[in-house]
Amino acid sequence: MLTVDYERLKLEPGHLVLDMGAGAGRHAYEAFRRGARVVALDHGFDELTKVTSLFAAMCASGEAGTRTGAMGCAVNGDGTRLPFPDDTFDRIICSEVLEHIPDDEAALAELRRVLKSGGTIAATVPSAMPERLCWRLSEEYHAPFVAGGHVRILTEAELRRKMRAAGLQPGDSHHAHALHSPYWWLRCAVGPTNDEHPLVRAYHRLLVWDITKAPRLTRWSERLLNPVLGKSLVVYARAHPARRRDAPAAATATVAATPAAPHGERPPVRDELLA
């Protein structure tokens, strides 16, 4: 399940793409499938070997755009000190990451530094209204009550302001995943870690069915509800050709993982917004 609209991102085969905070890699895989050269970066190491293995499995099954020069790799790194030179990437995806980083402005400055002038970034964060309700329903949902939890609620106006301060020009925006907001309200009401609650399990099955089958009824319903209830906000921005906020020098990558040999069937559908 994707949050970013690749048509608005204007991703083309051969583009060098950074998926910053890639997690399990859902956006990285789609960019790879479309023929891009993809670097999936995450601060957590555990997911990276799975990401590279799936890149390799996609190549073996013919799912990747290898004829256009697609390639994929994973890097373990810090979003506030990216291990890449200036002006490296044609496109950047930063999905559901900035709300976790204490210094989100430093992260945005780094993203601008490594984005080519005229390049495009898609940044997604939890929408303010659904997120505020989650915070009110459960202290366990956000930091400091949970390690690695959400440290802030970003409004669209604030995200745009921080993008501009980093030297980015915000443009188009939209909301996504309206059907996920009630799911998270329910989880917060019964306890965010209570995955075994009957209502949580039933709603989770509904969302997995919706993701895998994409029936017209739920697709239409979500499009109508997204402007009001969308769980995620997406803002697209271009790198201002003349402005860049000062950022620290590029760090050195601590780990670079290259695609491993295919090792069997593709893993089952996993959605980071449901985890």
Q: What pLDDT shows up at residue 255?
A: 41
Name which residue leads in pLDDT, 147 or 181: 181
Each residue's pLDDT tens digit, 159-196: 999 999 999 999 999 999 999 999 999 999 999 989 99
- Contact between 207 and 271 (Cβ < 8 Å): yes
The answer to whether residue 59 scores a pLDDT higher than 80 is yes
Q: Phi then psi for 6, rounded to 5 degrees?
A: -70, -20
Q: What pLDDT shows up at residue 274?
A: 57
What lies within 8 Å, CB to CB, of 49 at 6+ separation is 74, 257, 260
Averaged over 9-14, what is the pLDDT? 96
The answer to whether residue 142 scores a pLDDT higher than 50 is yes
Q: What pLDDT shows up at residue 264?
A: 34
Provide the residue ranges of all domains of the chain, joining segments of one domain with +: 6-257
CATH architecture for residues 6-257: 3-Layer(aba) Sandwich (3.40)
pTM: 0.88
- Contact between 259 and 187 (Cβ < 8 Å): no
207: tokens are 């969302």
DSSP states along 104-161: HHHHHHHHHHHEEEEEEEEEEEE-HHHHHHHHHH-GGGBTTSSTT-B-----HHHHHH
Burial class (CB in 10 A: 0-12, 13-18, 19+), 212: exposed
Name which residue leads in pLDDT, 171 or 143: 171
Name which residue leads in pLDDT, 104 or 243: 104
Q: What pLDDT shows up at residue 188?
A: 96
Q: Can you say whether residue 113 is alpha, beta or left, with left for phi > 0 and alpha for psi between -120 and 50 degrees?
A: alpha
- Contact between 241 and 117 (Cβ < 8 Å): yes
Give which of 68, 75, 4, 7 is closest to 32, Cα–Cα.
68
Position 66 confidence tier, pLDDT thresholds 50, 70, 90: low
Each residue's pLDDT tens digit, 242-271: 666 655 556 655 444 434 333 333 333 334
Q: What pLDDT shows up at residue 247?
A: 56
Averaged over 221-230, what is the pLDDT? 96
